[in-house]
């Protein structure tokens, strides 16, 4: 199974980053490639929210969301492609480190490089938005 890790630091306090990371409706503000996020599963399944990709606006992608505030962790799992994004925050003396571990199933292995680019851009945007708060 292809997987990778990435991280970025921001001058924002962990609480400011958490506000963006904890609220899945705000994902479209910083997660690269998504036009919007809506509550619930647009396909009628068990997803917590639905991502609407910019490149395929008519293709809803339901997601499961697991948040653990005590661990500063948000895990996003796609119900269609089975990609898993495990986002974590680490308080620093002057700011926050935002880390993500991504698991890609073998069936989606061709998406590895694209997902690395998406995650890098998303980390940068999340860090910038949190610092602006």
pLDDT at 20: 95
Q: Which residue in 84, 61, 62, 87 sits closest to 74, CA to CA?
A: 87
Q: Which residue in 3, 4, 9 sits closest to 126, CA to CA?
A: 9
Q: Does domain 3-132 have CATH number 3.30.530.20?
A: yes
**Beta-bridge mates of residue 100:** 6, 87
pLDDT at 97: 97
Q: Which residue in 119, 68, 112 sits closest to 98, CA to CA?
A: 119
3-state secondary structure of 106: helix
3-state secondary structure of 25: helix
Q: What is the mean pLDDT of each run of 10 residues along the chain (133 residues)?
A: 96 95 94 94 92 92 92 93 97 96 97 97 97 90
Mention every residue, 6+ apart, whose C-beta is less than 8 A from residue 21.
74, 87, 89, 98, 126
pLDDT at 131: 95
pTM of the model: 0.94
pLDDT at 133: 81
**Beta-bridge mates of residue 106:** none
Q: Which residue in 1, 2, 14 sits closest to 99, CA to CA?
A: 14
CA 81 to chain centre: 14
- The 8-class DSSP code of residue 23 comes to -
- Cβ atoms within 10 Å of 39's Cβ, excluding its own: 11
pLDDT at 69: 84
């Amino acid at each position: 199974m292809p997987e990778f890790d990435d991280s970025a630091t921001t001058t924002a306090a962990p609480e400011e980053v958490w506000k963006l990371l904890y609220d899945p409706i705000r994902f479209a503000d910083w997660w690269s490639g998504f036009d919007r996020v809506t509550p619930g599963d647009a396909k009628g399944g068990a997803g917590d929210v639905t991502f609407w990709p910019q490149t395929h606006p008519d293709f809803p992608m339901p997601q499961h969301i697991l948040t653990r505030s005590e661990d500063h962790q948000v895990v996003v799992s796609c119900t269609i492609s089975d990609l898993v994004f495990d986002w974590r925050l680490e308080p620093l003396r002057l700011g926050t480190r935002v880390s993500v571990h991504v698991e890609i199933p073998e069936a989606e292995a061709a998406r590895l490089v694209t997902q690395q680019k998406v995650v890098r851009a998303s980390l940068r945007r999340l860090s910038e938005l949190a610092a602006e708060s």
